[in-house]
Amino acid sequence: MATTENAAGRIAVRLPDGSVRQYPKGITAAQIAADLGDGAVEAIVARVDGRLVDLFYRLENDANLELLPATSAEGLEVLRHSTAHVMAQAVKRLIPEARLAIGPPIENGFYYDFDLPRALSAEELASIEEEMRRIIAADYPFSREEMDRDEAIRFFRERGENYKVEILKGLDDPRPSLYRQGEFVDLCRGPHIPSTGRIKAFKLRHVAGAYWRGDSSRPMLQRIYGTAFAHQAELDLFLERLAEAERRDHRRLGRELDLFSFRDEAPGFIFWHPKGYQLYRTLVDFSRELQEPRGYQEVSTPWIYRVSLWQTSGHWDHYKDNMFLADAGGEAVGVKPMNCPGHCLLYSQSVRSYRDLPLKFSEYGPLARYEPSGTLHGALRVRGMHQDDAHIFLREDQIEEQIAEVLELVDEVYRAFGMEYTVKLSTRPDDYMGDLATWERAEEALERALQAAGRPYTVNAGDGAFYGPKLDFDVTDALGRKWQCATVQLDFQMPERFGLTYVDRDGQHRRPVMIHRAIMGTLERFIGILVEHFAGAFPVWLAPVQVRVLPIGEDHKAYAERVRWELARARIRAEVDGRNEKIGYKIREAQVQQIPYMLVIGGKEAAAGTVAVRHRRRGDLGSVPLERFIEDIRREIDDRTLD
């Protein structure tokens, strides 16, 4: 803020409500919080002229001041960071041989990496929590000091903290900061909460392995994950959601519902079982149904290319480490990780007119991307994948209308799953391809398209693709978790690299623009998300088995098979449970398998041509003529109801 005329030794502090108060020079943010009282005393960190600082930070000049409680986003992050320090202090007390690596706050919690003489057990996590409670009860103040870098290196080397020494050697700061609480000292930029006693609710979650600095050639460390919240009620709610997420884990449900499996013989690839592949096919059919009226033409392109193609497209310089490469008779080839270069080759097959544009190619073929084994996670992080992928070749004056159409498509897809989303505009990354002016033109065009469509968005600076800016769509599932799924990328670069042109109205050859877009994204990942979103209880239109027919006895199997046949003729996915089991057992099993509808068949139903209908949630719905049931469920499927 602008300097004002102050009495000697006093400064002007502007508060969030816009008021300005005079304070003695050198006053701390904590003292101002105490002076303001009320909610301000709940602050755990301050923001001075836009920079986060400790509450014991002294204001020497006029400033803008905000006081942030633990319930704010910034306050919660600082609280979690400080809790990570308390955890490290507890570990050092219990295991003095422990060596400290790093301990940052992360989304939903924090972690700290340790080099330990033995593997930690679940019981030791409980002991660490108990020691943390003692540290919190002691209410040690956090204090900050600066130290010459060489002195800091000697300080940590004497304590055997070699990882801290390595970090310090890589720092440019000649006077790094250290934080203390009690006997514990750590290298840290801060800020931190005023004292350990301000931690009210925390929980250690689990231990995992992590290579130092993510390098598999470096030591394997033990990473302890935890979380902290401002209040116990928030922590309890978070832990409840975690427990629910574990119950919904797609790997467990995929096995229990017989959808898919994973084998060591093919790490990162999915074995689709019949029911899981039916789910996959239903999503692809849904995508086709929405795309064909919008003029998309489905194609299939090769899945192995010479390396020269990836050099032309620009992927070789930016993506080769993520590709599966092979030697084919002395020639280097690569399995395709994306379809866009092949679609560019298809475009170049013919002379294109401005009347041909937009030209829309879609493809659902196999892709492969190398992911390190430690990052693989069921269907959510795979090496072998398929996408509802498409590329739109268009004139520059068509950008806004085509982006608007893609946004409508996104709406229709996610409405069918009952999922809301937010949009991020991701801009030029550091390793961008092409010239700056073209990038600026592309970013401006994408922003205009968003504004013309009336879509709210946030800017995600520096996270665009190397060839163009993009829109990323964060989808919220039933547990409130966000998943980045759909992506729309505007590309001026690849048409240039492939020499693509169209003949304009004046007979001149001009360069088309290219939109890369995937709505569900990687289908394997999206199915994993859907399994957890619906907890395996898919809506009837999506369910791999929509109806299970349950004959009560042997005499009723013939009619049960006839019912299944009539359902199949109406394009309803049905199966018969003809096992010699009691009907109650069959019903319970169908409900465990999350079958939307069960049709119980006995002598009365066989004689009358009816079915006794049960719904997995609504229970017994009574007997109706088979034709009536078919009409009702067909309507439910066609309307894509979410019940």
Instruction: Give the residue numbers marked as catalytic.
Output: 340, 369, 387, 389, 391, 470, 516
Adjacent-strand bridge partners of 10: 24
Alpha carbon distances (Å) from 509 to 219, 358, 392, 499:
57, 16, 18, 11
Residue 423 CA to residue 172 CA, distance in Å, equals 36
Q: Are 298 and 363 in contact (CB under 8 A)?
A: yes
Whether cis (ω within 30° of 0) applies to the bond prior to 174 is no
Going along 107-254, which residue ranges are E strands? Answer: 109-115, 143-146, 177-181, 184-187, 201-211, 220-229
3-state class of 317 per DSSP?
A: helix
Q: How far is CA 128 from the centre of its chain?
A: 30
Q: Are 389 and 336 in contact (CB under 8 A)?
A: no
Q: Are 65 and 13 in contact (CB under 8 A)?
A: yes
- Could you tell me the two tokens for 78? 């600082």
Residue 253's CB is within 10 A of a number of other CB atoms, namely: 19
Is residue 527 exposed (0-12), middle (13-18) or buried (19+ Cβ within 10 Å)?
buried
Residue 298 CA to residue 514 CA, distance in Å, equals 17
φ and ψ at residue 368, rounded to 5 degrees: -140, 130
Residue 627 CA to residue 636 CA, distance in Å, equals 14
Name which of 160, 165, 133, 137 is nearest 150 in CA terms. 165
Q: Are 537 and 594 in contact (CB under 8 A)?
A: yes
Residue 231 CA to residue 70 CA, distance in Å, equals 9
In sequence order, the 6+-apart residues with CB closer than 8 A to the CB of 265 are none
Q: CA-based Rg of the chain, rounded to a whole angstrom? A: 30
Q: What is the 3-state secondary structure (H, E, C) of 68-121?
A: EECCCHHHHHHHHHHHHHHHHHHHHHHCCCCEECCCCEECCEEEEEEECCCCCC
> What's the half-sphere exposure (Cβ side, CA atoms, 13 Å) at 482?
10
- Taking every pair of C-alpha atoms in the chain, what is the biggest distance, in angstroms? 102
End-to-end CA distance of the chain: 56
In sequence order, the 6+-apart residues with CB closer than 8 A to the CB of 492 are 434, 438, 439, 441, 442, 468, 511, 513, 514
In sequence order, the 6+-apart residues with CB closer than 8 A to the CB of 438 are 492, 493
Residue 412 CA to residue 378 CA, distance in Å, equals 27
Adjacent-strand bridge partners of 574: 547
Q: Are 303 and 364 in contact (CB under 8 A)?
A: no
C-beta pairs of 529-532 under 8 Å, 24+ apart in sequence: 529/250, 529/380, 529/475, 529/477, 529/483, 529/485, 530/279, 530/417, 531/248, 531/250, 531/253, 531/254, 531/257, 531/259, 531/379, 532/245, 532/248, 532/249, 532/250, 532/253, 532/477, 532/478, 532/479
